[in-house]
Amino acid sequence: MASPAAFQSQIYRTLPALERADTIAQRISTAISLGMLREGERLPAESELSEMFGVAGATLRDALASLREQGIVETRRGRSGGTFVVKAPPAARDLMRRYLAETSLAELRDLGDEHAAITAATVRLACGRADPQALDRLEQLARAQARAETPEARARADSRFHIELAVAAQSPRLLASEIRLQGEISQVLWTPLAGDFDVETTTVEHLQLVQAIRSDDPETAQRLALEHIRRNIYHLIDTKLTLSYSDRTRESM
């Protein structure tokens, strides 16, 4: 099943002049990590991708070659051929540890403030704009996360839920902001660097949020959303402090 048009407009948007093959590869790779592109999904044809990204065909082919070398996509020939997603990029735990080490507590709180603001606006708009099919899809995504068996799969399901929530709000700017935030938060939130994140609580929170939107109750939806984001940021802060203490303990031994 192809990704929604709202996703394609974000994944394949035109690149600034200085961004080339590496940025294309990174954008597609991130979209896979966030669950916006799924395993088995076929990318648009190369000519379409070149036009969407606003780059020459050679630049696009270099980007796809990089993704093939990483084993993330494969290109098949023939009438039913094309370039297909074959696996998600692996979680880079060392990079996530470094991210938390280099990000201050104040910066993490500020990240939470921004995400809370974006999500609060998103859920209030979704209460008035989301159609029943979008809410059914959100509920399915929430339940799918509970069945995910790995931290990487849970991260993708979590990201996809929040991104689809922004789609339901029908605001391209909020969608772009949510995608950017998920790219910064999701993998580090779910990778067990200092303890597992609670998938059961997350699932319950997501389902409660969908029910509030379905009931057209923006006040409850906003309260639930803010509590959910606050818990996420507390987990990141707790993980940072735990890792910092562990590092200091090893250095003193």
The share of the chain scoring above pLDDT 90, in percent, equals 74
Angle of helix 172-190 versus helix 218-252 axis, rounded to 10: 40
Which CATH superfamily, name and number, covers 93-252? Answer: GntR ligand-binding domain-like (1.20.120.530)
Res 13: pLDDT: 78
Could you tell me which CATH class the domain 5-85 is placed in? mainly alpha
The per-residue b/e assignment along 44-82, b for 16 or more CB within 10 angstroms, e otherwise, is beeeebbebbebeeebbbbbbebbeeeebbeeeeeeeee
The answer to whether the beta carbons of residues 101 and 214 sit under 8 Å apart is no
Residue 16 neighbours by CB distance under 10 Å: 8
> What token pair was written down for 48?
């379409």
Give, in order, the Cα–Cα distances in Å from 199 to each of 140, 153, 179, 182: 15, 11, 21, 17
Phi then psi for residue 55, to 5 deg, are: -130, 165
Using CA atoms, how far apart are residues 8 and 24, in angstroms rounded to an integer? 13
Domain ranges of the chain: 5-85, 93-252
Q: What is the pTM of this model?
A: 0.82
Where is average pLDDT lowest: 1-5, 105-109, 182-186? 1-5
pLDDT in tens, 29-66: 999 989 999 999 999 999 999 999 888 999 999 999 99
> What token pair was written down for 7?
């996703």
